[in-house]
Amino acid sequence: MSLVISGLHVDVQTEAGPKEILKGVDLTINPGEVHAMMGPNGSGKSTLAYSLAGHPKYRITAGSVTLDGTDLTTLSVDERARAGLFLAMQYPVEVPGVSVANFLRTAKTALTGQPPKVRTWVKEVNAALQRLDLDPSFSGRSVNEGFSGGEKKRSDIAQLELLNPRYAVLDETDSGLDIDALRVVSEGVNRYMAQADRGVLLITHYTRVLQYIRPTVVHVYVGGRIVASGGPELGDRLEAEGYEKFEARADA
């Protein structure tokens, strides 16, 4: 019933040849847990997120990722989603010509194998948008096209609530949000986590989001691997001291 990452190594192809980005990541997220992954720019946090979701740019060279015992590394992107994994990207892509409403209904149909009933689904979508301080007319707009940063992130959390995966990877969902938007987004994550059998990997640079989403565990991620783990107090320590000491430990 857990998301288990064991000895994960990942490389990316460059002009000079393969470059290893992840250098042996070990992490277990159990139901009911929020794991905050904190690290400096360029440490490989987003690479971890995309590798879990199955982005073809990243090649897993060693290790495994299992969700409830299912090996995700053998599955396609859509199969990983059906297995219960969700990714909110740091930079959500625009999908011109596809409305938010159609995107959500298509995604729900792909996950469940049958389309939701239109009347019930419209009510659920409108309610989810309202909870994220988005007008119902928002559902008629093209996915992420012309959205503000806050609208993109709130739209992601609406997707999270409506698709209701087993585990969510949130890649810098707090990035670029003002105080009000951060509160609204965090409340959405907390509603999702109110279900006892859900789990979150929250990737972030800053501790401010941890004031709203209380982590079970905080990990320091440097140089493509986890170099320290602890409780919420570890986030406070990072806020006060920065990453320098942990970067030295990663280089040792």
d(CA 5, CA 180): 34
Contacts of 200 (CB under 8 A, 6+ apart): 29, 33, 34, 35, 167, 168, 169, 170, 189, 192, 193, 213
Residue 234 exposure: Cα atoms within 13 Å on the Cβ side:
20
Residue owning tokens 């995700």 = 72
Give the pair of three-digit tokens for residue 167.
Answer: 């585990």
What is the distance between the terminal CA atoms of the chain, rounded to a whole angstrom? 35
CA 138 to chain centre: 22
Give the pLDDT of residue 244.
Answer: 81
For residue 90, the 8-state DSSP code is: S
- Residue pLDDT tens, the chain, 252 long: 899 999 999 999 888 889 999 999 999 999 999 999 999 888 899 999 999 999 999 999 999 999 999 999 999 999 999 999 999 998 888 999 999 999 999 999 999 999 999 889 999 999 999 999 999 999 999 999 999 999 999 999 999 999 999 999 999 999 889 999 999 999 999 999 999 899 999 999 888 999 999 999 999 999 999 999 999 999 988 888 888 888 766 655
Domains of the chain by start residue, with CATH: 3-93+149-251 (3.40.50.300)
Tell me what pLDDT residue 250 has.
60
Q: Please provide the size of the chain in residues.
A: 252
**Could you give the CA distance from residue 163 to residue 175 in angstroms, rounded to a whole number?**
22
- Residue 251's pLDDT is 58
Closest CA to 40 of 236, 247, 217: 247
Both structure tokens of 162? 């409506």
- DSSP single-letter state for residue 252: -
